[in-house]
Structure 1
Amino acid sequence: MNIQLYQYTLPLQHTFGISRERYDTQDTLIVCLEYQGKTGYGEATSNPYYQITVDSLKQEIEALRNAIAGFEVPLQGPKADSDLAFPLQFEKWLRTQELSNFARCALDLACWDLYGKTLGKPLYQIWGTELGNLPISNFTIGLDSPEVMVAKMKEKPWPIYKIKLGTSNDVGIVTELRKHTDAVFRVDANCAWTAEETIENARALKELGVEFIEQPLKADDWEGMELVAHKSELPIIADESCIVETDVARCALHFHGINIKLTKCGGLSPALRMIREARELGLKVMVGCMTESSVGISAIAQLLPQLDYVDMDGALLLREDIATGVKLLEDATVVYPNAPGSGVELLAR
């Protein structure tokens, strides 16, 4: 396989705020794996919370360029649910290398896209799923003044909003937003609350039409999360507490569901295993995005038939996309291209 790397700085439609940071652009790395005239695309974005930059990603992957070029490619091998399927063989090898999960994700996504394009089928079909009863993606409203958050909602009418919180007036913010829409709300405190705040806020937020709360406590506050899991009047979904596969079982004792991020867990291969384990443990399953372009969003979309909830609005938050692929229309409908793999093509290199 030949490998190409392209970096972009993606301007956002609006300043995006959460409890710990605000930003106006998103840096991202696109990985292209080329083999016998076909190209698979993968993506990983930078993230200061996890100390990931595009430069660090490029350095990690460049160190493996020759090894990747020499990797044997049995693309027409066993079925996708077999441990011997090529993308799973490739991902197993990646796990033996000195790579961050973000770098592994970009390579894993590109490999699955290449695999699907070689077989001439979209990934959801290769995995034995069909496009029926798909969950609706939320649209995220970044943390800001209530006036700005209301304006963003009015600019983008949507059936489900994820509301970023993390202030001393979070219930007041949601109360104000509720005056302007009947949409379903989900709230994400990004680790900013205590257990006591979460339990108290959940009572008020339930009355305001909130569906669930995402990661209210710090990622390592397992004692607090156990208390919240038993006393919260709303379901609690893990995000920062559920990074990799080994986190799923522990989350089953402290949360009602998990939010899987492809960049954080290492790609589609581990995400498929996490979904399977979460189902076995009775957890609700969500997949979220990290403000990726349509390259990363189209990979997430291949998992939709297996999910309860999804947050795949990353490309909608951008001023300009860099790829074609799976799209979210203005009415929240998901449109899949008539194309194999993840359905992705890069607009410019």
Structure 2
Amino acid sequence: MLTLTVHEARIAMGRPFRHARMTRRETASVLVAAEYDGETGWGEAAPREYVTGESVDSVLAALHGRELPDAVVELLTAPVTEALVGLAALGLPELLGEPGRPAPAAAAALETALFDLICRRHGVDGLRALHLAGYGDVLAPEPAPMPVSTVLDLSGAPVARLSALSGAARAAIPHVKLKAGPEAAPVADLVAEVTALLPDATVSVDANCAWEAEEVLAQAPRLLAAGLSWLEEPLAARRWGELARLRRAGLPVMLDESFSSADDLAHCTAHRAADLLNLRVSKCGGPLQLLELARAARTAGLGVQLGVQVGEVGPLWAVGRLIGTALRAPVAVEAGRQDEWFPDLPPLTAPAYRVDRAASRAPALGGPGIGLRPTRALLDLCTPGFRRPWTAPRPDAPHPARPTAQDSPPEGRQ
């Protein structure tokens, strides 16, 4: 029997993370444990309403209430390659969503948990599993420590933070993302200061949909002269024609909130609205769905960045690390800042979160699946959600009845 145990993770962060549209002071994640035949795989969703329209409550509802095909359970007894290819083909964002409204964050939690479970049942490490699933064309054959971007939000002074680093640490930074405020005018001067400090790094600005096209166009010459590498999501989401105007003015554009699906990619390419896409596991529907979109982006001639959701607590950053250590030629890779967000907590995962900040590198985790499990400390900080069983179908059996929630799920496996 396949059983899902779901936990809600709202954990206070050691410092707030601010951008033009909001300030985040706690995590907002859903952890999923997929248990089958004595083994457990782990997944996580970090839903954001302004990105995919999902919330923690909607993810919980989708994972509890949606009917899924018998193939979900059948994958767990299939040979490993068949299981992984079948998992990629399930279309979980649509299955867990409503007509016309996919649920990629909910899908990411379930796909990651099932991916981890399949790998652990077969003793297969995560990168080999991604190759077996058919994504070798967008992945290197072996993992390598990934170069980690520095993301500077509005909670501190970016230039002061960079100036406080040693010269060697600054020289090791491959990319700086600057979170912007609600106005475009001051940003060019900030970009110029950062590029002067880090002449060998690329520098981007993320406006989180806060600006209007005319003010961006007015600042375009100054931004380009300051050394801007690209502008991430400057306008309200999916303003395809206006994004194309920015590109015609010479500004390289990256999509984030405007992009989470193949439909978004089709609109983007039809309007020539972007040069780059920000791929994040939680908004793209899971690791396999993300790699499918990475492949489609490359076919369309678009570059990609591998991003994170602020406040990822475990499985999401682990599967992002798995992809980030092997993805071919991303323009930048983010790794989160769990060392800043949870400085006073015991390790939330085994192995614990680690980034070499002096070298701006993050190593692969290794091991089967995503290479990580939540610790008891993390699960104790979570609110129990529910436990949902699926019974493996028999050829002559009727479709199983919809399960009901239980108040107190058993402890997750360590």
Range class of TM-score, shorter chain: 0.7 to 0.9
- The residue matched to 2:41 in structure 1 has which SS? strand
CA distance in 2, matches of 1:206, 1:224: 18
Q: Which residue of 2 aligns with 1:19?
A: 20
Asked if 2 retains the 8 angstrom alpha-carbon contact of 1:143 and 1:165, the reply is yes
TM value normalised by structure 2 = 0.73
Work out the CA distance in 2 between the residues paired with 1:93 and 1:52.
15
For 1:164, which of 179, 182, 188 is the aligned residue? 179
The Cα of 1:235 is off from its aligned counterpart by 2.1
String of CA shifts for 1:52-82, please: whole Å, max 9, x gaps. 3323322221224x868994233464665x6
> In structure 1, what is the equivalent of residue 334 of structure 2?
311
Identity of aligned residues (%): 23
Alpha-carbon spacing, 1:274–1:48, altered in 2? closer, same or farther (3 Å):
closer
Q: Is the 8 A contact 2:187 2:223 kept in 1?
A: no
Secondary structure, aligned partner of 1:219: coil
Displacement of 1:94: 6.0
1:40 maps to a residue whose letter is G
Between the aligned partners of 1:230 and 1:204, the Cα distance in structure 2 is 16
Secondary structure, aligned partner of 1:243:
coil
Q: Is the 8 A contact 1:78 1:85 kept in 2?
A: no
User: Secondary structure of the equivalent of 2:367?
Assistant: coil
Structure 1 counterpart of 2:239, from 188, 211, 221: 221
Aligned-partner Cα distance in 2 for 1:88–1:28: 23
* Greater strand content: 1
Aligned: 1:328 with 2:355: yes
Matches within 5 A, 1:102-251: 102-128=105-131, 129=139, 130-131=141-142, 136-144=147-155, 148-153=157-162, 159=173, 160-168=175-183, 169-177=186-194, 181-182=198-199, 183-232=201-250, 234-251=251-268
Report the CA distance shift for 1:286/1:83 in structure 2 as closer, same or farther (over 3 A).
farther
Q: How many residues align?
A: 343
Instruction: Tell me which moved more, 276-285 or 148-157.
Output: 148-157
| Residues 273, 179 of structure 1: alpha-carbon distance in 2 compared, 3 angstrom cutoff | closer
Structure 1 residue corresponding to 2:277, chosen from 253, 258, 263: 258
Q: Distance in 1 between matches of 2:70 and 2:83?
A: 22
Q: Is the 8 A contact 1:27 1:54 kept in 2?
A: yes
The answer as to whether partners of 1:94 and 1:104 remain within 8 angstroms in 2 is yes
Q: Aligned partners of 1:155 and 1:55: how far apart in 2? A: 41
**TM-score, length of structure 1 as denominator length:** 0.86
Q: Report the counterpart of residue 301 of structure 1 in structure 2.
A: 321
- Describe the SS at the equivalent of 1:339: coil
Q: Paired residue for 2:371?
A: 343
The answer as to whether partners of 2:149 and 2:176 remain within 8 angstroms in 1 is yes
Q: Distance in 2 between matches of 1:36 and 1:248?
A: 39
Give the secondary structure class of the aligned counterpart of 1:74. Answer: helix
Query: Please, what is the CA RMSD of the aligned residues?
Result: 2.9
- Give how far 1:161 is off: 2.0
Task: Compare relative contact order (CA 8 Å, sep 6+) and give the higher one, 1 or 2.
Answer: 2
Q: Identify if the C-alpha distance between structure 1 residues 10 and 167 changes in structure 2 by more than 3 Å, giving closer, same or farther.
A: same
- How many angstroms does 1:273 deviate by? 1.4
Change (3 A) 1:97 1:49: closer
CA distance 1:71–1:193, shift in 2 (3 Å): closer
